[in-house]
Structure 1
Amino acid sequence: MSLNAQQLVATRQELHANFILTGLTKEQVAADLHISLTKLDHLFTLTQQSLNDPWILRNYLLERVVATGQDPVPFTALSGDWHRHWFLDSEVIDRREMSAGDR
């Protein structure tokens, strides 16, 4: 599944807003997810090739926002249960197993 232009803009904004709510640095997020800062930047701009990786970041950010006692910004396109989307590998997402490399 690909996102249309409006969904891309909204998802980028939602990722950024939730990142801000976590109070973490990009370095902390990258370290927690065992990825490079380059890959993290690709995820925030939705230029990462893997469809699973943005969902992993989404889930991580939502958990971290809730852990601060705040309400996360809801996602409009990356919404619902990822186990129900045929185009995603839910087991990979559950394990937070990011794709290899920075693309």
Structure 2
Amino acid sequence: MSLNDGERARTAAELRANLELTGLPAEAVRAELGYGEREFERILGVAGADPVSVWRVRDRLEDLVREAGREPVPYSVLTERARVAAERWFALPKRAPRRG
């Protein structure tokens, strides 16, 4: 799965919007997931980042937004339908079922 420039830009904006909605500092989310500062910035920018890491951050941000009592910004490219295809290309971790 390869994203074009427009898809990367939209995904980066959606990731950053959801990071903001968590109410947490980026450093806290980054540390929880075990990424270095540069790597986390690449993931948020969807620039040269490991696709599995992008999906992992996407999923964690979505969970954290919901835990904060908010509704996540929907993803236009990293949709659940796209996840099915991505699982064929990458070893995506299984996502825990959403509660509530």
Question: In the superposition, relative to structure 1, how do residues 7 and 19 fare at CA in structure 2: closer, same or farther (>3 Å)?
Answer: same
Could you say which residue in structure 2 is the equivalent of 1:58? 58
Among candidates 78, 82, 89, match of residue 87 of structure 1: 89
Unaligned runs of 5+ in 2: 96-100
Could you say which residue in structure 2 is the equivalent of 1:46? 46
Unaligned runs of 5+ in 1: 96-103
Shift of 1:94: 3.1
The number of aligned residues is 93
Write out the 4+ residue segments of structure 1 that deviate beyond 2 Å after TM superposition: 81-85
Q: TM-score, normalised by structure 2?
A: 0.84
* 2:62–2:72 contact (8 Å) kept in structure 1: yes
CA-atom RMSD, angstroms? 1.6
Between the aligned residues of both structures, percent identity stands at: 29
- Is the helix fraction higher in 1 or 2? 2
Distance 1:38 1:94 in 2: 25
Could you say which residue in structure 2 is the equivalent of 1:16? 16
